[in-house]
A and B are shown apart, each in its own frame.
Chain A
């Protein structure tokens, strides 16, 4: 089974990004970097058609990444068609867990594009050294660091306006560096009204507002030693979720870290970083603005995580290795108070996340062995111990009704190992990897209680006695890079055992008025996910860049029925003209109809669609002020469409004209 898939995988390739090709010489940079450059101070603004777009919009451009949309804000990223419970999202290596039982607040929603230097996207089991419990891959949001350099101060002002939704963006960033001290600071504000779909109809409850404050600093203790710290405070308020039955009153995230770095410790060890971090997320939902609410509910949630990691980088002969130890402790708690229509009756209270505690500690070993100039072998392994359970006696009593012999806490051992072989042959790069990994059930899968899923109209109950999910992964990639053109193909195949998914239990009774039934998370004997991408790039007439992408995915359960939220065949093509300070582009994106949809999980046949976007940009210079202006039109044809990843088929934005302005002071 695996073998055949690997063979099919040969025909497809790895995603290819512009930055990889520039320095094609050294072995190090010849590696295909699965990295996006984002709103950095020294942002390559010529190549960014819409620099102030949200992190979500940036992520959307990556071929392994998709975004599940429940509204205009806080889209949930997926990697290799796997969502939150199967991927890892970290901020500078820090673990953060969402506080919403309904997935309204992916980790990516707590940072701003201006906070970031880049986003590291890792595909599959070897995706991210800091990841835990991930199979599909990892996103590491790398924060901006001005660094210890010659003294320099850089202040930017950013502003943007978008016609669709009357979307206003304003922000300012500061970067100061010196040999002894550096700091970054930024404040960013976004506000949008309801957006309009293609037929000019307003998508109600799609408004949002977000304020983000960020600071980063570093202080050099000696030539080799330094300390660094980060504080991010992010508040989203009055966020509508048109695809859900509730909105968000406020989602607050406080993210802090302090780390100690030591460089050039010895011949072998060249870098050692130890970071302590703490973050606190408070999420308050709101249904008071919705008409015809059958029952008013209060649903607050919180998630607090404290942890540390200590990572040592070294080089011994042809081995580049990383040793990392990390631990974290998370508290996830969410409750629900329901107010009956008959006000004489008392409010009804229950925990949806019964004060779930997770302690995890693990050791990661990674070695990149450069066999010779043409061959590299990378081996990564992570072993971790996890103890999780429900601290609330109330919640424990609740779950015991369903699982009489459950224990309040339980221990799990988790393990992953992967290997990747890379071969270079002149302009050609070949990669092949295999891996095996496990993940513990997520808090929702293990301990969630009556979580209503508006997509399939079922209520979900966790099972504390679930087995760990495991997966065998095989991946293969081929890339050919020439000065004027490049082509790459990649494919990955995951064979899951004990795949965790909810299945109906007809003996259980619903709670939500009108719900179809109750699903309980179970271990399916097996499931498979296959992804493939083809990317091409062609540069002609010196200034023209023509990029194409084709993507194909397939997911099947143990009965060969389609898994939910698997992307259909998708394509994009773009033509850009880039000439020094002037840039212009047009692109077309689309997907075929979603044939392999999962009716069992609430999906229906999503029709084919395509949209056209255009943009122009120019860098002005007025004295020492250098404004960059980008103007563009998205969905030029004003198509009304929704994709497979739009929760309950809410339509996406119709025609949108934007202007982005950036001034370097």
Chain B
């Protein structure tokens, strides 16, 4: 009787374990490797310095462009062969021109959410590079006060041949502004989230986000008698992300001109024109075609 009970409990214990193991196996998630995390990205540079290698990526092929560029970084410890998962990274772009040098708007570098090894930031380049005049980006890996690695590269920055997604202008306050479209990258018919960055120049080396401005949008189709869509929402400043966010409605596929008016925090128009029957386009606009 007792023995029987014992066997019985052993039997159930084994059964239970089997179930547990089987279910464990089933739920087994394939470990995400560093290589998996850059699938779909294009490597644009490999920078080796001492024990570390910086891998620089971007989403699409081709060169960096004047305007908004999202840049991804992986950092490898050449000694351990492992990717650094908790790095503090920073960078600094500088353009060396024949007579002077200047920077451009750029972000800090942050970890990409839900990844272990991937970091991300952006540059808004304001000029194209040439043989004589070039951009130099310095990448830093620090731990506390110690610089563990510092590398530079000289990326080629070209004027975008595609549709206009970036505009620099001088406001009525005589300040230089830099407006770059982030989204949509693949617009659709219907309501799109539209986001952009707006920076102003403080001095040659300092560019700061223009806060609490409004970017008014008026999407038009020049091929369709300047047809526009209803219920667009102007872009307003989101202090947590630094992005300007709005809603863009597109009624059909094709070429759209997103006419812009930039108003400062006191609602003064710094740049841009309203569309009327005689003014068919603003002095500043983005373009989308899909």
Q: Which residues of A contact B (CB under 8 A)?
A: 295, 338, 340-342, 345-350, 394, 396-398, 400-402, 404, 450, 507-515
Chain B residues with CB under 8 Å of chain A are 188-191, 221, 223-231, 249, 251-255, 289-290
Taking chain A's interface residues, is the majority helix, strand, or loop, or is none over half, making it mixed? loop
Contact A404 to B252, CB < 8 A, known contacts A397-B190, A511-B224? no
Q: What is the CB-to-nearest-CB distance from B225 to chain A, in angstroms, rounded to a whole number?
A: 4
Q: Which of A341, A397, A507 contacts B191 (CB 8 A)?
A: A397
**Is A348's CB under 8 angstroms from B230's CB?**
no
Q: How far is the CA of A460 from the CA of B282 in the complex (A)?
A: 28
Given contacts A338-B224, A401-B249, A404-B231, contact A350 B255 (CB under 8 A): no
Known A341-B223, A350-B189, A397-B191; judge A508-B289 contact (CB<8 A). Answer: no
Contact residues in A for B226 (Cβ distance below 8 Å): 509
For residue A513, which residue of chain B has the nearest CB? Answer: B225
On whether the beta carbons of B191 and A400 are closer than 8 Å, the reply is yes
A348 adjacent to B188 (CB under 8 Å): no
| B218 vs chain A, min Cβ distance (A) | 10
How many angstroms from the CA of A272 to the CA of B251 in the assembled complex? 50
Q: Is the CB of A347 within 8 A of B225?
A: no
Are B227 and A509 neighbours in the complex by a CB distance under 8 Å?
A: yes
Contact B224 A513 (CB under 8 A): yes
CB distance from B17 to the nearest CB of A (A): 48
Tell whether, in the assembled complex, residue A349 and residue B254 are in contact, meaning their CB atoms are under 8 Å apart. yes
- Cβ–Cβ contact B223 & A348, under 8 A: yes
Query: CB < 8 Å: which of A340, A450, A509 contacts B254?
Result: A340
B289 contacts A345, C-beta separation under 8 Å: yes
User: When A and B form their complex, which 5 residue pairs have the shortest distance between CB atoms, in order from nearest?
Assistant: A397-B190, A348-B254, A350-B252, A340-B223, A345-B255
The smallest C-beta distance from B282 to any residue of chain A, in angstroms, reads 16
- Given the known interface contacts A346-B289, A346-B290, A350-B189, the answer about A401 and B225 at a Cβ–Cβ threshold of 8 Å is no
CB<8 Å pairs between A and B, sample of 19: A295-B223, A295-B224, A338-B223, A338-B224, A340-B255, A341-B223, A346-B290, A348-B255, A349-B254, A350-B252, A394-B188, A397-B190, A397-B191, A398-B189, A398-B251, A400-B191, A402-B230, A402-B231, A509-B226
Contact A400 B230 (CB under 8 A): no
B223 A350 Cβ-Cβ under 8 A? no
Residues from chain A with Cβ under 8 Å of B253 in the complex: 346-350
Please, which residue of chain A has its CB at the minimum distance from the CB of B248? A401
Q: How far is the CA of A402 from the CA of B249 in the complex (A)?
A: 10
Q: How far is the CA of A419 from the CA of B227 in the complex (A)?
A: 50
Q: Is B190 touching A400 in the complex (CB atoms < 8 A)?
A: yes
Please, how many angstroms separate the alpha-carbon atoms of A508 and B228 in the complex? 8
Q: How far is the CB of A355 from chain B (nearest CB, A)?
A: 14
Closest chain B residue to A350, Cβ basis: B252
Closest B residue to A341 by CB, please name it.
B223
Contact at B255–A509, with CB atoms within 8 Å? no
- What is the CB-to-nearest-CB distance from B90 to chain A, in angstroms, rounded to a whole number? 41
Best-buried of B189, B228, B231, B290 by chain A (most CB within 10 Å): B189
Report which residue of B225, B226, B228 has the largest number of chain A beta carbons within 10 angstroms of its beta carbon: B225
Contacts of A350 in B (CB 8 A): 189, 251-253
Which residue in chain B gives the minimum CB-CB distance to A348? B254
- In the complex, residue of chain A having the shortest beta-carbon distance to the beta carbon of B231: A401
Compute how far the CA of A10 lies from the CA of B17 in the bound complex, rounded to whole angstroms: 92
What B residues does A345 contact at CB under 8 A? 223, 254-255, 289
